[in-house]
């Protein structure tokens, strides 16, 4: 990889657009994440991990530094519906040397839950990552309390690869940690005649 950030990315689907994060997006994202106590989205996005508060200034400074970093393939992008930011997609390296990558998605705005927006956004995101990186597989980790996320991953052809029973404690109840994933060849097969994505 060249170590030079590419031009902004813009990926359009039928319902959503995934695009690069810009400085003007940061106050909007901060408001979604920290603008209210006990936000509804956090009850589904790993609620067993506390949300560490950042002031708007701290968040914008941290994210501005990230925006100026030299990631060739951005590790997070915003999800838009009709030019309104509603969430983000992301990835992180579990083990970069073996190209073990995990994806994430959060739809912050509950008005866009259950309408297929998240499923389409995650499909576009995984497609982009397979097209942009020499990945063998893409993984996703969630928990048994987030049934919508499990169904979303299943719709995209992801397989249950691991289930660690009763290891997530939330509101006095134990839940399972769930690992799902899809291999490049499975992803290409699931596209059913669409463009075959070879490793870059």
Residue 124 counted as domain residue: yes
In angstroms, rounded to a whole number, what is the distance separating the alpha carbons of residues 180 and 154?
A: 9
- The pair of three-digit structure tokens given for residue 25, joined into one six-digit string: 């997006």
Q: What is the pLDDT of residue 135?
A: 97
Q: Are 100 and 138 in contact (CB under 8 A)?
A: no
Would residue 23 count as lying in a domain? yes
Sheet with 137-143, side-by-side order of all strands:
10-12, 17-19, 76-81, 84-95, 100-107, 137-143, 173-183, 159-170
pTM of the predicted model, to two decimals? Answer: 0.90
pLDDT digits (tens, 9 = 90+) for 96-119: 999 999 999 999 999 999 999 999
Q: Which residues contact 51 (CB under 8 A, 6 or more apart)?
A: 33, 34, 39, 42
- Domain membership of residue 178 (yes or no) is no
Report whether 124 contacts 11 (CB < 8 A): yes
Round to whole Å and give the CA distance between 52 and 73: 26
Each residue of 151-174: pLDDT tens digit? 999 999 999 999 999 999 999 999
Ranges of beta strands (E only) in 71-152 are 76-81, 84-95, 100-107, 137-143
What domain range includes position 92?
10-140
Digit-coded pLDDT (tens) for 113-155: 999 999 999 999 999 999 999 999 999 999 999 999 999 999 9
Q: Tell me whether residue 113 is in a domain.
A: yes
Q: Give a yes or no: residue 57 inside a domain.
A: yes
Q: Point out which residues pair with 183 in neighbouring strands.
A: 137
- CA atoms of 78 and 99, how far apart (whole Å): 23
The CA-to-CA distance between both ends of the chain, in Å, stands at 11
**Domain assignment present for 3:** no
Distances (CA, A) of 63 to 21, 39, 57, 59, 112: 9, 21, 10, 6, 25
Model pLDDT, residue 85: 98
Q: What CATH number is given to the structural domain containing 134?
A: 3.40.630.30
Q: Is 1 within a domain?
A: no
- Is 152 within the bounds of a domain? no
Number of structural domains, the chain?
Answer: 1
């Amino acid at each position: 990889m060249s170590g030079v950030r590419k031009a902004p990315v813009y990926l359009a689907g039928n319902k959503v657009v995934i695009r690069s994060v810009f400085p003007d997006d940061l106050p909007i994202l901060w408001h979604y994440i920290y603008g209210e106590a006990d936000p509804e989205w956090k009850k589904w996005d790993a609620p067993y991990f506390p949300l560490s508060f950042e002031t708007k200034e701290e968040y914008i400074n941290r994210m501005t530094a990230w925006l100026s970093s030299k990631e060739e393939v951005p590790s997070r992008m915003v999800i838009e519906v009709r030019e309104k930011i509603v969430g983000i997609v992301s990835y992180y390296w579990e083990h970069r040397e073996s190209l073990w990558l995990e994806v994430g998605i959060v739809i912050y705005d509950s008005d866009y839950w259950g309408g297929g927006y998240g499923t389409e956004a995650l499909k576009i995101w995984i497609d982009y990552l397979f097209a942009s990186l020499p990945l063998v597989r893409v993984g996703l980790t969630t928990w048994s309390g987030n049934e919508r996320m499990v169904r979303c991953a299943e719709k995209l052809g992801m397989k249950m690869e691991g289930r660690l029973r009763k290891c997530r404690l939330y509101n006095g109840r134990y839940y399972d940690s769930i690992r799902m994933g899809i291999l490049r060849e499975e992803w290409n097969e699931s596209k059913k005649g669409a463009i075959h994505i070879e490793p870059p």
